[in-house]
A and B are shown apart, each in its own frame.
Chain A
Amino acid sequence: MKKILLACASGIATSTAVNHKLSKVLDEKGYKGQYRITQCKVQEVFAQSANYDFCVATTKISGEVKCPVILGIAFLTGIGLDKVVAQVLEEMKK
C-alpha cells in the first residue's frame, strides 16, 4: 500500500482536482486498491512527510521534506502530463 500525500495551498481546492485525476491515472495503470491518498495544506507537509511514500504538490515546497516531492501542475493543465505520470509510476514501483 503506497501512501501518497497531496498538497496545495488550502488542502482542498486544487489538491482535490489532482486527487481526481491522479486516482484515475493510477487505476488505469493497474494500481487500484494499492494506494491511499491524503490531502493536506502545504504548511502540513513538513510534519506529515515522514509518514508518506511520496508527495504530489501544486505549490512550491521548499525546506526539509522527508519524502520525494513531485510537482503536480500537469494533472491540472495536461501539459507535460506524460513526464509527471512517469515520475509518479517510478515512485509507485519503489
Chain B
Amino acid sequence: MDNLEKDMLGDILIAPELVVMGLEAETDMEAIDKLATHLYNRGIVKETYIPAVKQREVDFCTGLAFEAMGVALPHTDSIHVNQQAIAIGILKKPVTFHHMGMPDVDVDVELMFMLAIQKPEAQITFLGKMMEVFQLDGCLEQVKNAASPEEAAAVFKGFFAEA
C-alpha cells in the first residue's frame, strides 16, 4: 500500500513500470503503438485504446514544442481506460510528430507522456499543472536523462511538488 501511494499523483498512477526507456521508433505511429501496448500489457487500458489513441493522433496531433524539447501527449477517450495513469516514453532518438493545432508544423519529439484519463473534469488542476511542470527549468531534461525508470518517475513527480 505504501508503495502504491508512492506511485500515485492524486489518483493518477505514475510508476516506474510505466516508464519505457530507450524507446525505438521510426514514426509517430510506431512510437504510440509501442507505448500504448505497454499500457495495455499492464492492464491500464483496454485493447481498444491502442487503435483509438493512434486514430486520435491522426485526427488531432499532440506534438508540443516546449523550450527545452519536443513532447507528445497522445491520449484518447476515457471509455478505453481501466486505471488513470501516465506512461512516460523516453525516445532513443527524436521522432517527428505533428504540432498540436498546427498540423503543418513538425516537432522532433524526445519525450512522450501518454495519458490514460478517466475523469477529466476532476483533473483540471492536474492537467494545467502538468503544462507548468513541463516549462520548469530542467524538468524535461532530467526526465529524459534519468538513469532508471525509478528516477524518471520520481523526478517527474518531484517537479509537481515544485510547480
Contacts from A to B (Cβ < 8 Å): 8-10, 12-14, 16-17, 19-21, 24, 42, 57-60, 71-73, 75-79
Interface contact A78-B66, CB-CB below 8 Å: yes
List residues of chain B with CB within 8 A of the CB of A24: 128
Q: Is the pair B100, A58 in contact by a Cβ cutoff of 8 Å?
A: yes
Which one of B13-21, B30-38, B57-65, B143-151 is at the A interface? B57-65
With A60-B101, A73-B100 as known contacts, state yes or no: A17 contacts B128, CB within 8 Å: yes
Cα-based distance from A71 to B103 in the complex (angstroms): 13
Cross-interface CB contact of B128 among A9, A21, A57, A59, cutoff 8 Å: A21
Among A9, A20, A42, A78, the residue within 8 A (CB) of B124 is A20
With beta carbons under 8 angstroms apart, the residue of B65, B78, B100 that contacts A79 is B65
Complex contact B67–A79 (CB within 8 A): yes
Report whether A17 and B127 are in contact in the complex, using a CB–CB cutoff of 8 Å.
yes
Cross-chain contact A76 with B120 (CB below 8 angstroms): no
Q: Mark B121-153, 1 if CB is under 8 A from A, else 0.
A: 101110111111011000000000000000000
Are A9 and B56 touching (Cβ within 8 A)? yes
**Chain B proximity of A16: nearest CB distance (Å):** 5
Tell me the B34-77 residues at the A interface (CB within 8 Å): 56, 59-60, 64-67, 73, 75-77
- List, in ascending order, chain B residues with CB within 8 A of A72's CB: 101
User: How large, as a class, is the contact surface on chain B?
Assistant: 20 to 34
When each residue 102-126 of chain B gets 1 if its CB lies under 8 Å from chain A and 0 otherwise, what string results? 1100000000000101001101110
A9-B56, A17-B128, A21-B128 in contact; A58/B66 too (CB < 8 A)? Answer: no
Closest chain A CB from B124 CB (angstroms) = 5
How far, in angstroms, from A76 to B117 measured CA to CA in the complex? Answer: 18
Q: By CB atoms of chain B within 10 A, which of A9, A13, A73 has the most?
A: A13
Whole-angstrom distance between the alpha carbons of A65 and B121 in the complex? 26
Q: How far is the CB of B97 from chain A (nearest CB, A)?
A: 14
Interface residue from A9, A12, A21, A60 paired with B102 (Cβ < 8 Å): A60
Q: Which residues of B contact A58 (CB under 8 A)?
A: 100-101
Decide yes or no: A78 and B135 within 8 Å by CB, A60-B103, A73-B102 being known contacts: yes
